Amino acid sequence: MPKLWCSVPSDAQDVESLRVIRNSCREFMTSMTDEISIEAQAAWWAQSPVMRGTPLLFHLLTEPNPIGFGLLRVQGVVFLTGGLLPRFRGKGYGAPLFQTLIALAVGVRMRPHLKVRSDNAQAVKLYKKLNFTAVSYLDSSGYSESPKGGVEIIGMRYEGDDASNC
């Protein structure tokens, strides 16, 4: 499988790629599941990196445009999120995407956390393989920004060997 490489979005085209990829993943989001408009994305991008987190775009040498995104956001702990365009899902690209995010967080001595929908079995399996363990369960039915229908949200924490220094 070709290797992924990542970049920090640096221009309007990159920010639009980030929006398109994120919107293609919104059915799997644990919060803020509405489609993001161009205007909303521009407003988000204008925020300080402390507020919006650090986004990354993931690329393949064989593709002209990014195929995925990742985001690290500090909210007491560091939360990871990410996703791939639909045609790249289920092909093994999620593991290196999240391994990169984990390495960035652990590299600054922060133990990564994430949230995942319980009905996203493929992601739950990947996160367990990457040494995340469930630490909380939340019924999303009472939360306005969460998925509709009362889907359970699983909070997970990274427990890899390299996390002992975090």
> What is the per-residue pLDDT for 141?
56
Say which residue, 156 or 75, is predicted with more confidence: 156
Q: How confident is the model at residue 36 (pLDDT cuts 50, 70, 90)?
A: very high
Domains contained in the chain, number? 1
Q: Hey, is 126 helix, strand or coil?
A: helix
Range of the domain at 52: 4-165
Say which residue, 147 or 104, is predicted with more confidence: 104
Q: What is the mean pLDDT of the chain?
A: 88
- Describe the strand order of the beta sheet including 112-117 as a list of residue ranges: 4-7, 54-60, 68-75, 77-84, 112-117, 152-158, 132-139
Entry pTM? 0.88
Nearest CA to 88 out of 69, 103, 71 is that of 69
Q: How confident is the model at residue 115 (pLDDT cuts 50, 70, 90)?
A: very high
CATH of the domain at 99: 3.40.630.30
**Residue given tokens 């924490």 in the structure block:** 157
Using the Cα atoms of residue 47, residue 52, residue 54 and residue 55 in order, give the sign of their dihedral: negative
Dump the DSSP string for 21-84.
Answer: HHHHTGGG-SS--SPPPHHHHHHHHHS-HHHH-EEEEEEETT-SS--EEEEEEEESEEEEEEEE
